[in-house]
Structure 1
Amino acid sequence: MKLISQLGIILLLYFIGELIVYYLQLKIPGSILGMLLLLVSLQLHIIKIEDIKDVATFFLNNMLILFIPLGVGLASQWNLISKEWFSILVSVFISTFIVLLCVSLIIKRKKE
């Protein structure tokens, strides 16, 4: 029963995010907004880490399963990917560099 209630908390915030996006016609995915709501709830101690820890640990330990649909989607779009491989590769390297730079700047500021 504990796992079901923990999953319920995560799903509730996900659905709230989806509803907000639907009614306000926002341009971001509802799942992202739901996870932002979860982050804010955790930061403001509205939800305690212990309230979702077991389900979150399960999802993190089994994250590879969640990437199977992505792999299938990539395989089904191989014709497009093979035509645009260089642009995709450049985009991946540039975005990875930007993420690493931002994270390093954030860590540097937190240490000061």
Structure 2
Amino acid sequence: MIPALATLLACQLLGEVVVRWAALPVPGPVVGLALLLAGLALRPKWVDAIKPTSQGLLQHLSLLFVPAGVGVMQHLQRLGSEALAIGVALVVSTFVGLAVSAWVMIWLMHRQGRRNDGP
């Protein structure tokens, strides 16, 4: 379990280093996750070594939301005073996300159709 956890943390650290070195506008853990995915794709036998630890972390993922919930409770008055702006932002971002997802799906379907119509 310790080597697998060390591997996950090393990928996160490497992601942070890459983001800071290249000044990327992406969170370091996201880059670390991509590096982990690449490593697992190149060496599939690593999956068996990391799987139990990652499943254990995922089983307790809800505990990681406790600090966010506490933060929300501490700023409840501010959330109430800015409820309209937050609500509008949530609705607009939801519709933009849906529209972009639909557009990407249509684009990919057309691209796949052209590929299937080829020689």
- Common fold: TM-score over 0.5: yes
Q: Percent identity?
A: 29
Consecutive unaligned residues of structure 2, counting only runs of 5 or more, are 114-119
Letter of the 2:52 partner, please give it. Answer: D
Whether 2:46 is the aligned partner of 1:48: answer yes
C-alpha spacing 1:49/1:100, structure 2 compared with 1 (3 Å)? farther
The residue aligned with 2:85 is: 87
Could you list the per-position Cα deviations for residues 41-77 of structure 1 after superposition, in whole angstroms to 9, with x for gaps in the alignment? 2233366321210111011110110001111111222
Larger of the two Rg values belongs to structure: 2
RMSD of aligned residue pairs (Cα, Å): 2.9
Partner Cα distance (1:47, 1:90) in 2: 47
The alignment's TM-score, normalised by the length of structure 1, stands at 0.74
Q: Structure 2 matches for 1:1-112, cutoff 5 A?
A: 3-45=1-43, 48-97=46-95, 98=97, 102=101, 105=105
The alignment's TM-score, normalised by the length of structure 2, stands at 0.71
Consecutive unaligned residues of structure 1, counting only runs of 5 or more, are none
Letter of the 2:29 partner, please give it. Answer: S
